[in-house]
Structure 1
Amino acid sequence: MQELADHIWRNRAFHAAAALAHRTWLARELGQPLAEEVSQDDAVRLIRAAAVLACSSDPEHRRQAYQSATTAYEVVGSETLPMQQALRVVLSRLGNFPALGTRGDVRDAGGHLPLELLVEEFGLADQRRVTLREEPVLLTDFQHELWHKLGNGANVAVGAPTSAGKTFVLQGHLARLFEDVADRTVIYLVPTRALIAQVSRDLASMFRSTAGGAPEIVTVPLDGDQPLPRRAILVMTQERVRLMLASHPDLVATIVIVDEAHSIADRGRGVLLQWVVDDLLSRKPDAQLLFASPGIRNLDVFGRAFGLDNIERVPSKEPTVAQNFLVVRVTSAKLGAFSVTSVEPGGGEQLVGEFELGHTLASRKDQLVHIPFALGRGPSIVYANGMAEAEDFALQLAELRVEEVASPQREAVAQLAAQSVHDSYVLGHCVRRGVGFHYSNMPTQVRQAVEDAFGDGTLDFLVCTSTLLQGVNLPARNVFMCKPEKGRTRPLEGTDFWNLAGRAGRLRREFQGNIFLIGYDDWKSKPLDQPRDSEIITALEAGVSQRL
């Protein structure tokens, strides 16, 4: 099968058909049908080829198999041909069982497969089926490997795309740990307050149905005179854990999870993170450690930092959704004209569509308001370089959506914003028109309400700052960026760029996500030319090297 996959990969006609199918899907997505679209016959041949490439061990073959099969299915449809069955075969061979639920006809197609293919699917599924809270769950190859290593008690360093589903496995591992009645403490280290809120809510929801023995979820440091819970998960930043360690000399963690572990390279906070983990290891040297991060190439850095010889590395470059990078170029600022081209494998570009809005696009604000408004079909994230920009862009987007009606769900969020901040807080006006903004310096209950509203479809647009880069799980159909920065004047690149791009595409809701790079030719850095994974140096090691 590998030889056949290699043969297909060398066929220029295959790549030409795959590119045309991709452009056809993108053009329809943007409401700009192409003069030449992929034919039904070519789409059928394409999905057949994808069924072979899905069996390959080459990551590029597998990535193309996913994209070709999903675009062929969505372009042709399943009314006249059993494309849903063919797509199900490809997804099963890729081990991407969670994606089977993205479309109802694909989910229900199993009963109509030929017996031979049905037996094949059952065999593949059995290899990836686990039991979580007494329910069978099908995992991807990456998730299944991680699940078993954690279950075996291994120290693990994970590097995987944002959409790979590592958080689902981590929290599922905690669920099985607390199935017994033994006393244990887990420390779940996260970099921000926003992530504290999200992780603690997810865990509380997961344990809600547990009878009697559910662990206590602790997010605020306990004073020294407050007793430690017998069974607890401490979801905290490194600063909060440091306070806990100082006030409770008897605090010992059975498991330490470091989420967004690449933050160990962040100057002062990275040094503190390393100090906290070292302290926890000094109290219990055999504690299980898990470092989770997107796109880290040198996962052995965590073993070196903490003197761990037995840390197991679980890398993955295989996302569970496909992501399309689209370069937006303004061709006439006065007329509001712009083109959209698709960045193809190898760095080439293909024109997808041309637009004219009749509204000036002279400034960056104009571009980050009017272009998302024109192209943002489905939930869309707009990246802003700071809190003031986030509020300003959201307000401008809301002003364009004059026909939007304030639903009861939107009105509830608006009322919460008014009660928690003040009546004239601009968020209320924005959410009534389906637009929200999100940054760290917001009241926790308001930020959580905005996250929930965007997640359930109450809000169509969310303007975010770099808070989104630090693990907050807010996937969208589209992500819009224009000269993005992190902090003051520092261009977004490397791990942070790919982390943000990874928010495009929502597993089980769509097969593909779109990243719009506005004015990319003028960006200070060109992150598309950089590898998706990067090497990091701990802040402590970097500091020592500089002194030497």
Structure 2
Amino acid sequence: MIEKNIVSLGDTIFNDIDKNPYLNELYENILYNYSLHLFQIRSERKPVNISDALRFADILSKSPDDSHMTWAQEIVALLKETEPNNPEIDIYLNSVLSNTGNFQGLETAEKKKTTTVSLRRNLLECFYEEYSKELVSIPAEPEKLFFRPQRKIYDRLIDPYFSYSGPTSMGKSFIMRMFIKKLVQDGMKFNYALIVPTKALINEVSSKIINDLGSLLKEKNYRVVTSAGALALEEEHNFIYVLTPERLLYLLIRHKDKDIDYLFIDEAHKITSKDKRSTFYYKNIDMLAERKRKPHIIFASPNIPNPEVYLKLVPEALEAADLTDYKLATSFSPVSQVKYLIDCVDGGIYLFNDRSIRLMEISKATIKVPLSNIITHLGKGVQSIVYFNSKDKAIQAAIDYAAYEEDKNDSELDSLSKEIENQVHKEYFLAKLIKKGIAYHIGYLPASIRMKIEKLFRDRKIVAMFCTSTLVEGVNLPADNLFITTYRKERGQTKMTAVDFRNLVGRVGRINYNLYGNVFLVRLEENLQIKDFVELLEKKYRNRNSLLSLN
């Protein structure tokens, strides 16, 4: 008997949709028109049949492919930006975000609606939406909703070992925190360890856990511990450890009697980095593997294709028939990034099309203006992060930008400015900048000052942040605009890797405020080569099939 290959209708529709010439033409024209709007360039728009574009977006939103769903969201979001008063766009925006399960984005879109036309849906569609919301509700906070990939990951955290990856904007650590909160609510007496790569992240994550759990910590006799020498370790409690790999090792050595039931390793790609910290990860997992009471081990990493590689560190996992059964990789992002190259040396503004993987010229204009002017022009009413690979350059850029800004006369900014004067120095540059809603974020700032700067940025009081990798790698502060002034990493000539770049770009886009963000690669110096900036943009695609290795 000859078996016939059965092809579903969905396969027929979605398999070749990426190559559809009309869809790609519409998308490129939408990007071009959005770029003219963003840069305020007076030039003729390219033709876009909005109804056709919206129908394509609706089809893409129903695809099982993560990249298709993200693409659908981007199309409707950019159309909404360039045609804010078109009621048809509002109708499809609702539909697309509902189809992709991006209910947080749906709330954001509802707040920004400029039309009063409501979507007429039949009873079945309304039931389906409510049913979908039930499926993605957060067990610890039922009034809030996960994205669909988040919920899939959440349901796997009870596995003995598991590894997952996704974009920075997906909220990988949020899933861990909600899982812990639910078990604490249910009265489970476990010890949890969240391992983060930097001390800056210890402050951020531990603060969020304390905020998540609130009075539950005392009611359920839990303590949040951030060092191996914490006094609480001498008392009878259950613990939530938030530690770097080094601090976890000290804890395992000093407190052999303290079991760990769940070990969460955030930013797991650091395990394969070439710095001295990577060896601590190996040692910690080896020590825990020797214990009689072994923990559940969960790895979370940026959007890499093979997160199961980290499971090779777990002895029990090596006995599994197929490690891919214990991994989940998603590329779905609730927000999109539109990427540009601005050449301040030879002139020109270029758009990078993620779909065709090519640059598209927006303007040939010579841009002989300071970076501060570019940030001001593109940053009205939004928040910007500006990346340098040198703290001196970051500080000087912040000072240059502040020269044309006025004090905000905000009590919280003035209070922090006074605190900086008292803690650091009365004439310290930062104290004056803060009053204007401008800051720089570098390694040697006191931890208490850094945390307050981060909070004021989250509260949208600080509108421009100039940083090195201290901020980019350490703290989750998404912005509307990101300016990248070099393709080199901090303290050296080493170029960013694909993972470095994705982590950096993933900071752009704020789901509570918008469905997209803008990334600007800015060439300021002749010794920086255009081809290297282009390579940085293309790295995501060149590395798609290259796997990380632990060998």
TM category, shorter: 0.7 to 0.9
Q: State the shift of 1:349 in Å.
A: 2.3
Query: 1:192 maps to which residue?
Result: 198
Give the Cα–Cα distance (whole angstroms) in 1 for the partners of residues 534 and 41 of structure 2: 30
242-251 or 316-325: bigger deviation? 242-251
Query: 2:62 maps to which residue?
Result: 55
The one-letter code matched in structure 2 to 1:88 is: N
The equivalent position to 1:535 in structure 2, one of 527, 534, 547, is: 547
Matches of residues 307-346 of structure 1 in structure 2 within 5 Å? 307-309=315-317, 312-330=326-344, 338-346=348-356
Give the Cα–Cα distance (whole angstroms) in 2 for the partners of residues 355 and 450 of structure 1: 36
Change (3 A) 1:109 1:170: farther
The one-letter code matched in structure 2 to 1:416 is: E
Gap regions ≥5 residues in structure 1:
360-365, 542-548
Q: State the shift of 1:129 in Å.
A: 2.7
The equivalent position to 1:46 in structure 2, one of 49, 53, 73, is: 53
| CA-to-aligned-CA distance 1:64-117 (integer Å, 9 cap, x gap) | 21211222233222x452422311111111122221122235789997431243
Please give the secondary structure, in 2, of the residue aligned with 1:15.
helix
Query: 1:545 maps to which residue?
Result: none
1:144 aligns with 2:156: no
Give the Cα–Cα distance (whole angstroms) in 1 for the partners of residues 348 and 446 of structure 2: 38
Conservation of the 8 A alpha-carbon contact between 1:100 and 1:106: no
Q: State the shift of 1:190 in Å.
A: 0.8
Query: 1:155 maps to which residue?
Result: 161
Please give the secondary structure, in 1, of the residue aligned with 2:277.
helix
Give the Cα–Cα distance (whole angstroms) in 2 for the partners of residues 53 and 358 of structure 1: 41
Change (3 A) 1:119 1:451: same
Gap regions ≥5 residues in structure 2:
1-8, 524-528
1:277 aligns with 2:291: no
Conservation of the 8 A alpha-carbon contact between 1:253 and 1:284: no
Q: State the shift of 1:228 in Å.
A: 5.0
Query: 2:312 maps to which residue?
Result: 304
1:12 aligns with 2:18: no
Change (3 A) 1:456 1:72: same
Matched residue count: 522
83-92 or 175-184: bigger deviation? 175-184
The one-letter code matched in structure 1 to 2:202 is: I
The one-letter code matched in structure 1 to 2:549 is: I
The one-letter code matched in structure 2 to 1:482 is: T
Conservation of the 8 A alpha-carbon contact between 2:301 and 2:307: no
Give the Cα–Cα distance (whole angstroms) in 1 for the partners of residues 232 and 71 of structure 2: 58
Moved over 6 A (4+): 106-111
Change (3 A) 1:408 1:223: closer
The one-letter code matched in structure 2 to 1:425 is: Y
The one-letter code matched in structure 2 to 1:252 is: D
The one-letter code matched in structure 1 to 2:397 is: F
Give the Cα–Cα distance (whole angstroms) in 1 for the partners of residues 116 and 221 of structure 2: 38
Conservation of the 8 A alpha-carbon contact between 2:285 and 2:313: no
Matches of residues 172-187 of structure 1 in structure 2 within 5 Å? 172-187=178-193
Give the Cα–Cα distance (whole angstroms) in 1 for the partners of residues 535 and 221 of structure 2: 47
Query: 2:509 maps to which residue?
Result: 505
- C-alpha RMSD of matched pairs (Å): 2.6
The one-letter code matched in structure 2 to 1:505 is: G
Change (3 A) 1:214 1:536: farther
Matches of residues 354-365 of structure 1 in structure 2 within 5 Å? 359=369
The one-letter code matched in structure 1 to 2:290 is: S
Q: State the shift of 1:438 in Å.
A: 1.1
263-272 or 337-346: bigger deviation? 337-346
Query: 2:394 maps to which residue?
Result: 390
Give the Cα–Cα distance (whole angstroms) in 2 for the partners of residues 431 and 268 of structure 1: 35
1:65 aligns with 2:69: no
Change (3 A) 1:512 1:284: farther
Conservation of the 8 A alpha-carbon contact between 2:191 and 2:238: yes
Conservation of the 8 A alpha-carbon contact between 1:185 and 1:230: no
1:485 aligns with 2:488: yes
Change (3 A) 1:224 1:280: farther
Change (3 A) 1:171 1:225: closer
Query: 1:462 maps to which residue?
Result: 465
Change (3 A) 1:130 1:201: closer
Please give the secondary structure, in 1, of the residue aligned with 2:397.
helix
Q: State the shift of 1:417 in Å.
A: 1.6
Change (3 A) 1:109 1:279: farther
The equivalent position to 2:295 in structure 1, one of 287, 300, 307, is: 287
Give the Cα–Cα distance (whole angstroms) in 2 for the partners of residues 286 and 98 of structure 1: 37
Give the Cα–Cα distance (whole angstroms) in 1 for the partners of residues 50 and 64 of structure 2: 23
Give the Cα–Cα distance (whole angstroms) in 2 for the partners of residues 284 and 485 of structure 1: 45
370-379 or 152-161: bigger deviation? 370-379
Give the Cα–Cα distance (whole angstroms) in 2 for the partners of residues 280 and 113 of structure 1: 56
Conservation of the 8 A alpha-carbon contact between 1:84 and 1:105: no
The equivalent position to 2:362 in structure 1, one of 311, 331, 352, is: 352
Change (3 A) 1:224 1:86: closer
The one-letter code matched in structure 2 to 1:472 is: V
Conservation of the 8 A alpha-carbon contact between 1:216 and 1:229: no
Change (3 A) 1:342 1:224: closer
Give the Cα–Cα distance (whole angstroms) in 1 for the partners of residues 57 and 90 of structure 2: 13
Query: 2:411 maps to which residue?
Result: 408
Using the size of structure 1 for normalisation, the TM-score is 0.88
Give the Cα–Cα distance (whole angstroms) in 2 for the partners of residues 439 and 128 of structure 1: 38
The one-letter code matched in structure 1 to 2:516 is: Q
Conservation of the 8 A alpha-carbon contact between 1:224 and 1:247: no
| CA-to-aligned-CA distance 1:421-446 (integer Å, 9 cap, x gap) | 12122111111122111123221110
Change (3 A) 1:373 1:72: closer
Matches of residues 65-214 of structure 1 in structure 2 within 5 Å? 65-77=72-84, 79-105=85-111, 112-115=119-122, 116-133=124-141, 135-150=142-157, 152-210=158-216, 212-213=219-220
Query: 1:515 maps to which residue?
Result: 519
Identity across matched positions, percent: 23
The one-letter code matched in structure 1 to 2:171 is: G
Q: State the shift of 1:497 in Å.
A: 1.0
